[in-house]
Every structure is written in structure tokens, then in C-alpha cells.
Amino acid sequence: MFISSDIKYVGVNDHEIDLFEGQYVVENGMAYNSYVISDEKIAVMDSVDANFGEEWLKNIEGVLGDRTPDYLIVQHMEPDHSANIKLFMDKYENATVVATSKAFVMIKQFFGTDYEDRRLVVAEGDTLNLGKHVLTFVMAPMVHWPEVMVTYDSYDKVLFSADGFGKFGALDVEEDWACEARRYYIGIVGKYGAQVQALLKKAAALDIQTICPLHGPILSENLGYYINLYNIWSSYAVESEGVMIAYSSVYGHTKSAVMTLEEFLKQRGCPKVVVCDLAREDMAEAVEDAFRYGKLVLASVTYNGDVFPHMREFIHNLTERNYQNRKIAFIENGSWAPMAAKVMRKMLENSKNITFADTTVTIKSALSEENIAQLSSLSTELL
């Protein structure tokens, strides 16, 4: 794959993986991206997952032929991008590793050496001259590890964006970018919105024509679309108008309340209603929808004086990722001591800019006429 006449793709597709980072379902696999910049000097941008080291080296050889790399630039030390540093350095004995000081600490932790005699430590604004290609290093701490940097090539106007603008899915499968990029961003990077905002401000000063992430496709058209979505996600703004209803139900009565509210919302012209059974839907998908829409209804049975476990996990996933700037309503159910609404509200009390609906629906065992009237009122309040 050609990014430009001098920049080639040497990454790999992984269709063996079922769970990325041990928790995210990836039905269409993953791509581990790596790139070669060929000039007077040759730089390889990042490594790939440990299972694909030999394939990666063959890809590099296929691009370079008899030439050998001068530099391995390490932007991010998660093992899906750094696992083959030693393999590379053993093969190319004259190569130099380029990374941040914090990355070299991790390199020693992973490999037992920090390549003191074969390294170049870079910081904000440092450059590396390959010939006509001059690389500028831009620090991106906590996007989403502390050692992260991104790299800008001023000749081809390419931003090598580390995990930024990445998505789930291998490159030989066609699928909607936004859906899997949103799930990837919110699940993995979502906590660090402020740091992403800082990086976007730095990137705005660069003339970028192509974005080369470490996961997902190379982006070279309509870059404003992708950058705008990243700005929305990292500022915790509302992407789509609508209501998400997330629920946990045991015997179906809480579910009945949710279905009733859904119908009221649709009757009143709500632009989008998304209903999620937390016991059955992929948790990452549920969290993605909660961040996408501006209004959220949490409906849970009372369970051991608490909320149902799936609901507790869901809210923890939201607060862990700095959930904010939303309107939230509660539906609770309890046959003798309803507590779910109180618990859920307590879990969200430190979230920023949360508005709680005036109407809280409390069901005692099964839906009553009073509950149906409350659900009708709540639907009006949510519009």
C-alpha cells in the first residue's frame, strides 16, 4: 500500500484475535499499522503485535529490497505496537531507536535494555532529517499512555497519529469508519479528552493532508469530518440528538417500563431512541451509545439493596471515562425497598455538568397506572 512515493505501508491484519485488549469484541479483526519512509535515510514507523513479527519484517524487506533501515521510530509502547522492537534491533544492528525518554524506560522494562548506544531521545518540537523528509515530533502524553508522541512529515504533509484516529477492524474488511472508531475511541482513549483536545490544538497548526494511525485505515480525504468527530468525542459534546435507555430487568417488569417509555418517546417525535439490555448487549457498544446521545435513561431493579450488577458495571464504565454534559433520568423497581435510583444517582454525583430529570419513576413490583402516567411525563421532559 502506497501512502506516497516514499511512504509505504508494512503493517499486518489480525483475524485470529477475538478480544482486543482482552475485552473489546472485534468481529472483523484488527490492523496493526507500520510504515516505512524511504529517503537518504530510512525510518520505520512503529512495530506490530508479537504474533506477526516475522510477517512484519518480510513486509519491510519487500519494500526496501537491499536497503536497510536507519531508524525505528517508536511512538507508543503498548505491545501491539512495540512487541517486535528487539526482533528489529537484532536484525538491523546499525539501526537507531527513536522515542521519548519515558518510552525508553518502558523499553528497558519490556526488553531488559534501553539501547543506550543505539538510541535517540526526542522531545517536543525536535526534528529528524531523513533527506527531503523532515520529521517533527509532537508530544502527546496520556493519549493514552504517558510516553506517546505523534510524528509530522512536512514533505508529504503526513501526520503519523499513534493511536489517535484509530479504529477496530482489519484493513481487508470494509465497514463504517465512525461506528468502530467511536467504540475504539470511547473505550480506550475516552478518559483522556483533555489530553486529546491539547493534541488537536497542536495538530491544527500543521498542514495535514494524510493521517496514518496505528489502527484502521489511512485517512486522506475529507479530513475535516474525522477531525470534527474527534473534537466532539474529546470535548464530551453531544454527537447525535436522541435518547438512550439502558436497563437491567429480572422478571420483565422493568423492561415493560422501558418499552412503554420508548413508545411514548417515539409518539412524541423523538429523533432517535436506542434501547439497550445491559445483560445482553456488548458493554463497549452500550458505552459508545451513552456518549453519542445527549440524554440517558437508567432503568434498574433494586438488587441486594443496590443496583443490578450489569447496571453497576455500565455506570462505572461511564464515570471511568469522564461521562459529562448529559441529561439523565432514572427508573427503579423494588418490591419492598426501592433503592436503585438513589444508588445510581450517587454513582454519578461527581460527573461534570449532569442534569437530572425532575421525574424519577419508582415501580413497586409491576407497572401501575401511576407509573404509566409518570413515564408519559418523563417522555415529555426528555424532549
For the chain (383 residues), the mean pLDDT of every run of 10, in chain order, is 94 96 95 98 98 98 96 97 97 97 98 96 98 98 96 98 96 94 95 95 96 97 96 97 96 96 97 96 95 97 92 97 97 93 96 96 95 97 95
Cα–Cα dist 26/382, whole Å: 33
191 and 339 assigned to the same domain: no
Under DSSP, the state recorded for 284 is H
User: For residue 1, is it within any domain?
Assistant: no
Given a contact cutoff of 8 angstroms between Cβ atoms, the answer to whether 351 and 191 are in contact is no
User: For residue 43, is it within any domain?
Assistant: yes
Closest C-alpha to 164, from 123, 216, 207: 216
**DSSP string across 259-276:** HHHHHHHHHTT-S-EEEE
224 and 246 assigned to the same domain: no
219 and 120 assigned to the same domain: yes
User: For residue 331, is it within any domain?
Assistant: yes
Cα–Cα dist 289/278, whole Å: 12
Q: Are strands 35-38 and 7-9 parallel, antiparallel or unpaired?
A: antiparallel
Residue where a domain stops, chosen among 179, 201, 234: 234
Under DSSP, the state recorded for 187 is I
User: For residue 2, is it within any domain?
Assistant: no
- Domain count for the chain, please give it: 2
121 and 93 assigned to the same domain: yes
In angstroms, the Cα distances linking 81 to 12, 60, 169, 233 are: 11, 15, 16, 24
Residue where a domain stops, chosen among 213, 234, 255: 234
Cα–Cα dist 329/299, whole Å: 8
**Which three cell numbers, joined as nine digits, stand for 318?**
461511564
Q: pTM of the entire structure?
A: 0.92
CATH number of the domain bearing residue 251: 3.40.50.360
**Longest CA span, the chain:** 79
CATH number of the domain bearing residue 110: 3.60.15.10
48 and 120 assigned to the same domain: yes
User: For residue 198, is it within any domain?
Assistant: yes
227 and 248 assigned to the same domain: no
Which range of residues forms the domain containing residue 347? Answer: 240-382
**Which three cell numbers, joined as nine digits, stand for 174?**
470494509
Cα–Cα dist 97/244, whole Å: 47
Instruction: Return the pLDDT at 305.
Output: 87
User: For residue 158, is it within any domain?
Assistant: yes
228 and 249 assigned to the same domain: no
User: For residue 75, is it within any domain?
Assistant: yes
226 and 288 assigned to the same domain: no
Closest C-alpha to 14, from 2, 26, 31, 1: 31
Cα–Cα dist 176/368, whole Å: 43
Residue where a domain stops, chosen among 234, 262, 293: 234
191 and 43 assigned to the same domain: yes
Angle at 110 (CA atoms; ends 109, 115), nearest 5 degrees: 80
Beta bridge partner(s), residue 235: none
Instruction: Return the pLDDT at 2.
Output: 86
Angle at 382 (CA atoms; ends 176, 182), nearest 5 degrees: 20
314 and 228 assigned to the same domain: no
162 and 258 assigned to the same domain: no
151 and 32 assigned to the same domain: yes
